[in-house]
């Protein structure tokens, strides 16, 4: 009994077990979706290898002194930015994005490390004693720390990853306690960017809402004019970025609005994914028995569209099990972040939670057709060594904080 108590006191099974089950479900789905694909038959073994490496990495990070995380925040951020620059120069282009570095026959995606590096450096900056969250200067500096990796990722271009960085910044500022007006300053450019993608009428409507909001906040004319100008510039910049994207990326955004407009082209994956999930019914068609999966109707479904494999072969029960495991994991991390007395660790944990959650939300959302198909993996489940290693690193940090909770909670 004493051993069990010590294990429970030092190791949070509520973090490790859901992640391990999700990994096993992902392995099964990867095996099924690659079984009859001659170009991907080795992916199961690669994922198994990275799974073992991830477990080792998890326990290494779990074991280090907790105060190390603050010390390595800035170096991790700088190294990740340098890698994002390197990938633009010598990176390997995959699916239209120059986002990968090749090493010994394996691929590494620097943006996965950059997400964690950005969360850590933002936590270090926001937890400083002299940081005033409602100061325009400090809000600007926090945004700048997040916008640098966003700009580098957009240059690849990788639109899906920019969603993660954007959400990460907003959630961490909110957790720090930003005021309603400060939140408006941060969110309004994102809203204008989205509205500009939808069309000129939406863009104009967004500008009108910004003007009304500025009037209600009753700030001075110069400051309000500056905020309006920034929003206007963001809208035009977003339109420019959209035109600069590859044709297939523009088509994905257009197909989100109306997938049926190009059912054999840009809208194909979104339509087939919904067909696969819908055909699974309550219990699914059975392992290795999904027609959409086995006949390869969805290209490379072992990566971004792995959720539809689970839906087809394991049915509603399988998909709701995955959702439940993620929900349990999110609640555990949120509870740990809420009880942490060390502000830096609390912010790091909420940053990790936001990275997991946005990946989860966008991946599942694009499979069921509520967000654009932007290409983003499902943590612990999708095929991909970079994503799995990064997810395990973040989980290791959370488990480390739990191990030392008597000192930091």
Which among 8, 146, 70, 195 is positioned nearest to 154, based on CA atoms?
A: 146
Question: What's phi and psi for 92, nearest 5 deg?
Answer: -95, 130
State the pLDDT at residue 378: 92
Query: Does residue 369 contact residue 259 with C-beta atoms inside 8 Å?
Result: yes
Q: What is the pLDDT of residue 295?
A: 60
List pLDDT tens digits, range 289-301: 776 766 666 777 7
pTM, 2 dp: 0.86
Of all residues in the chain, what percent carry a pLDDT higher than 90? 34
Q: Point out the residues of the chain with pLDDT beneath 50.
A: 1-3, 264, 266
Q: What is the pLDDT of residues 124-165, one digit of tens each?
A: 999 988 888 877 788 888 888 988 998 888 887 777 888 899
Residue partners of 262: CB distance under 8 A and separation at least 6: 251, 254, 255, 268
**What are the two backbone dihedrals, phi and then psi, of residue 85, each rounded to the nearest 5 degrees?**
-70, -45
Q: Are 347 and 8 within 8 A, CB to CB? A: no
**Among candidate residues 309, 259, 320, 249, the one with its CA nearest the CA of residue 280:** 309
Residue in this structure with the two tokens 């394996």, named with its chain if needed: 106
Tell me, what's the pLDDT at 3? 47
| pLDDT at residue 251, rounded to an integer | 60
Q: Retrieve residue 195's tokens.
A: 């509205």
Q: How many angstroms separate the CA atoms of 309 and 68, rounded?
A: 40
Residues 6+ away with beta carbon under 8 Å from 17:
none
Neighbouring residues of 63: CB distance < 8 A, sequence distance ≥ 6: 400
Contact 101, 107 (CB under 8 A): yes
Rg from Cα positions in the chain: 22
Are 380 and 391 in contact by the 8 Å Cβ rule? The answer is yes
Any idea what the Cα angle at residue 357 is, between residues 366 and 251, rounded to 5°? Answer: 25
The confidence score (pLDDT) of residue 218 equals 77
What secondary structure, in 3-state letters, does the chain show?
Answer: CHHHHHHHHHCCHHHHHHHHHHHHHHHHHHHHHHCCCCCCCCHHHHHHHHHHHHHHHHHHHHHCCCCHHHHHHHHHHHHHHHHHHHHHHHCEEECCEEEEEEECCEEECHHHHHHHHHHHHHHHHHCCCCCCCCCHHHHHHHHHHHHHHHHHHHCCCCHHHHHHHHHHHHHHHHHHCCCHHHHHHHHHHHHHHHHHHHCHHHHHHHHHHHHHHHHHHCCCHHHHHHHHHHHHHHHHHHHHHHHHCCHHHHHHHHHHHCHHHCCCCCCHHHHHHHHHHHHCCCCCCCCCCCHHHHCCCCCCCCCCCHHHHHHHHHHHHHHHHHHHHHHHHHHHHHHHHHHCCCHHHHHHHHHHHHHHHHHHHHHHHHHHCCCCCCCCCCCCCCCCHHHHHHHHHHHHHHHHHHHCHHHHC
* pLDDT tens digits, one per residue of 229-249: 888 887 777 777 666 666 665
């Amino acid at each position: 009994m004493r051993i069990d108590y010590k294990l429970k006191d030092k190791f949070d099974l509520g973090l490790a077990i859901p992640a391990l089950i999700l990994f096993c479900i992902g392995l099964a789905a990867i095996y099924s979706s690659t079984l009859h694909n001659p170009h991907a038959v080795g992916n199961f073994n690669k994922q198994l290898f990275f799974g073992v490496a991830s477990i080792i990495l998890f326990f290494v990070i779990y074991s280090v002194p907790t105060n190390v995380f603050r010390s390595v925040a800035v170096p991790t951020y700088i190294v990740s930015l340098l890698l994002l620059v390197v990938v633009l120069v010598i990176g390997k282009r995959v699916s239209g994005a120059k986002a990968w570095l090749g090493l010994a026959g394996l691929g590494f995606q620097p943006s996965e490390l950059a997400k964690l590096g950005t969360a850590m450096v933002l936590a270090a900056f926001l937890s400083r004693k002299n940081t005033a969250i409602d100061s325009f200067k400090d809000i600007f500096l926090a945004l700048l720390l997040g916008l640098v990796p966003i700009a580098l990722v957009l240059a690849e271009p990788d639109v899906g990853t920019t969603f993660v960085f954007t959400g990460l910044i907003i959630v961490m500022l909110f957790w720090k306690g930003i005021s309603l007006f400060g939140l408006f300053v941060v969110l309004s450019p994102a809203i204008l960017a989205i509205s500009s993608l939808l069309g000129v009428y939406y863009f104009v409507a967004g500008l009108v809402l910004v003007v009304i909001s500025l009037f209600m906040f009753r700030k001075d004319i110069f400051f309000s004019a500056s905020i309006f100008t920034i929003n206007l510039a963001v809208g035009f910049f977003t339109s420019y970025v959209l035109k600069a994207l590859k044709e297939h990326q523009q088509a994905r955004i257009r197909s989100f609005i109306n997938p049926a407009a190009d059912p054999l082209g840009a809208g194909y994956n979104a339509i087939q994914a919904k067909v696969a999930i819908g055909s699974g019914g309550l219990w699914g068609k059975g392992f290795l028995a999904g027609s959409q999966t086995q006949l390869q109707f969805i290209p490379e479904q072992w990566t971004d569209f792995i959720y539809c494999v689970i839906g087809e072969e394991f049915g509603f029960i399988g998909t709701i099990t995955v959702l439940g495991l993620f929900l349990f994991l999110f609640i555990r991390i949120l509870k740990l972040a809420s009880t942490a007395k060390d502000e830096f660790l609390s912010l790091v944990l909420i940053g990790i939670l936001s990275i997991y959650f946005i990946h989860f939300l966008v991946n599942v959302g694009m499979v069921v057709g509520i967000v654009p198909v932007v290409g983003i993996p499902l943590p612990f489940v999708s095929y991909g060594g970079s994503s799995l290693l990064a997810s395990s690193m973040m989980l290791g940090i959370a488990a480390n904080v739990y191990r030392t909770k008597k000192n930091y909670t």
